[in-house]
Amino acid sequence: MRLGGLRGRLLVAFVLVSLLSAATATVPAYDQAREAILERAGASAVQNFRDRVNASVGEFDVPPDQRSLNRLAEAIASGSRDAKVAVRYRALVAPADQEAIPARLRDRVRSENRLSFQRVEWNGAPWLVVGTPVAFAGSGRPSGVEVFQVISLQPEQDDITALLTTVRDGVVPVVLLAAVLALLAAGTVLRPVRRLAKATRRLADGALETRVPVKGRDELADLAKDFNETADALQSSVAELREQEARARRFVADVSHELRTPLAAMTMVSSVLDEDAEDLPPDTAHAARTVSAETAGLARLVDDLIEISRFDAHAASLSRQDLDVAEVLRATLSTRGWTDRVTAEFVTVRARLDRRRLDVIVANLVGNALRHGAPPVTVVLRSTADDVFVEVADRGQGLTAEVARHVFERFFKADTARTRSEGSGLGLAIAQENARLHGGLITGSDREGGGAVFTLRLPRNGKEADR
Amino acid sequence: MPHVLLIEDDVSVRDATELVLRRHGHDVDAAGSGEDGLELLRRPGAGGIEVVVLDLMLPGMDGFAVCRRIRELSTMPIIMLTSRGDDSDIVNGLEAGADDYVVKPVTARVLEARIRASVRRVVPAARNHEDFDGLVLDRAGLTVTKGGVPLAIPPTELRLLLELSASPGRVFTRERLLELVWEHDYFADARLVDAAVGRLRAKIEDVASRPRYVQTVRGFGYRFGPL
């Protein structure tokens, strides 16, 4: 249990409140009882002392000698429970321990000439010290004799201790009870709060159908109701968004598929036009070749659109195999007839990659460099323990910061004046999607000494991408 | 030039394809549905047909079903021509018994190359009987028997078996097998190889899941034996 948590805070608060109320109830009572005990004990001891002194001083002569002082002390002491008596007459003292008698009390007895008493702590025990001057009968003049008695208050102290123990024994169960009540109260508050917290987490994790039961009519129930309404709203807007998105994706996929059928016929027929172009009049031949080229471009665009819509629908999957990466790159260059136009620097690297997708990425990067950059185009393959790097560099105009930022966007055209250029404008976007599917990335930047360099990084073992 | 049966429901595509194939010197029979195509194959004198180009999305009986029915009748090469290049369609087509698939739109040159490659696969090699622990290959007569029982093996799978068994114990990568068997001068999908190996195993192995003849070498490809 965390002390800073709601449960800990409630517990501490309950215990503090119960302690405080117990203390405010018992401390004054205890104080009063203690005073009452001590006062009553004091009063009875003082009365007893006064009686003993009066009874004993009857046949006492002044000035006394040491022996009569001792006798008087013994007489007063006799009959009173464990009390020590001291009698003084000027320098004469009988007998007893004088150090228990505080000097202030002695002075008061002498100066005020009347009975005084004081509670003292002596040798670790409580005592009552009573002192009285002895006056001459009749005249009331002070005789110079002073009698002191030191009476133990230990029995009273024991009573008070017992009282304290009783109070404490009463408070402990109260505090424990408070703690239990605190835990119970915390439970009733915390259970719904925890349910809400768990539901919130599940909602955040995408389980939009999550709801919490609404119990009772308190603030927590209101909160639960609000939570459910929020979840309802969220679920319906997400459903709507998903529906729209799915519709848009389906539309792109359907359009692309529908385009494929007429394109299939056009592609077939245009090859006939191409083959016969040489025998046609120049204008007709030009028209035939244009139709053929545009048909091929349209076919590529539709292919790219279908590929992109597969990525958008998360329908693209990897088919990994152990590859000799250099061999794949060589094949990519040679099947497209680029071997003479590209300088290759390859090291031997084996990696688990999707061969077709690797080919698509590199073909797009090299094709892009050949189309939009300027020769010489170089392809460098290198590797680290974890990654494979393919760098495709050219000596063209390079990338401005603006172009580097957007170059992987769909249909991005670096040259805005040209509305159409060779290629669909989807190639780099598709290459980037393929890299991401592997858990890798393509970055484009300016190259030192002019030109642009695109760097493809792919994890070698493929674990990173198996999300 | 091989005699082609073209099964394609779209009139324009069918006409254009037929036009192109005829110009390249093929005899072409064209059908607008799977049922019509099967009818053409069953009719007397259909023996001239050497290869089928089959659209996948057909009204009524779809391409997968047509492919399976043709396999019951014949071991001739089947090339699927599909407007859907989704992984699941390709895998389904290959498992239904197609030797190759081509995604629309396709140029006349590529279709032509693939038709010729698929037919070349049946060209006999120059060697004779070989007995591999009960599996007997007759390279001249292009027959395979196992325990004396003749096996009906379509040309692609047969070519695959012949290539693999020509060098027992040697490991072939999928790419190498694509070059050898499908004769693609660019790499097509390695799934062609996996699907053909799967179908071949179903025919020649005792237990297809524990192959003795065509064994998988993880991370590299396939090899024949060791037995």
Q: What ipTM, to 2 d.p.?
A: 0.74
Task: Quote the pLDDT of residue B60.
Answer: 86
Chain A to chain B, count of Cβ pairs less than 8 Å apart?
81
The structure tokens listed for A28 are: 């004054």
Lowest mean pLDDT among A54-58, A332-336, B39-43: A54-58
Residues of chain B contacting A268 with CB distance shorter than 8 Å: 13, 16-17, 19-20, 105-108, 111
Of the pLDDT bands very low, low, confident and very high (cuts 50, 70, 90), residue A465 is very low
* Among B15, B87, B106, beta carbon nearest to A267: B106
Residues of chain A contacting B187 with CB distance shorter than 8 Å: 331, 335, 355-356, 359
Residues of chain A contacting B219 with CB distance shorter than 8 Å: 321-322
Query: How far A453 CA lies from chain B's nearest CA (Å)?
Result: 27
For A232-287, how does the pLDDT look when each residue is reduced to its tens digit (9 = 90+)?
999 999 999 989 988 887 887 788 778 888 899 999 889 888 888 889 898 999 99
Task: Quote the pLDDT of residue A74.
Answer: 79
Q: Averaged over A366-370, what is the pLDDT?
A: 87
Chain B residue with minimal CA distance to A353?
Answer: B219
Neighbours of A119 (CB within 10 A): 14
* Among A264, A272, A275, beta carbon nearest to B106: A264
For B71-81, how does the pLDDT look when each residue is reduced to its tens digit (9 = 90+)?
888 878 899 88
Alpha carbons within 13 angstroms on the beta-carbon side of residue A174 total: 16
Q: Averaged over A46-61, what is the pLDDT?
A: 79
Residue A16 to residue B84: CA distance in whole angstroms: 74
Order across the sheet with A387-393: list the strands: A342-345, A377-383, A387-393, A452-459, A441-446
Q: Chain B interface, mutation test: which of A270, A271, A353, most B Cβ atoms within 10 Å?
A: A271
Sequence letter at residue B198? G
Asked whether B78 and B66 are in contact (CB, 8 A), the reply is: no
Residue B6 reports pLDDT greater than 90: yes
Residue B127 reports pLDDT greater than 70: no
Asked whether A329 and A362 are in contact (CB, 8 A), the reply is: yes
Asked whether B40 and B5 are in contact (CB, 8 A), the reply is: yes
- HEC states along A328-370? HHHHHHHHCCCCCCEEEECCCCEEEEEHHHHHHHHHHHHHHHH
Task: With CA atoms as reference, report the closest residue to A354 among B196, B187, B164.
Answer: B187
Residues of chain B contacting A325 with CB distance shorter than 8 Å: none
> For the CA atoms of A349, A351, A356, A361, what is the dihedral angle to 10 degrees?
-70
Which residues from B are below 8 Å from A when comparing CB atoms? 10, 12-13, 15-17, 19-20, 23, 83-87, 104-109, 111, 174-175, 185-187, 189-191, 219-220
Inter-chain residue contact B84 with A267, CB threshold 8 Å: no
Residue A365 to residue A239: CA distance in whole angstroms: 38
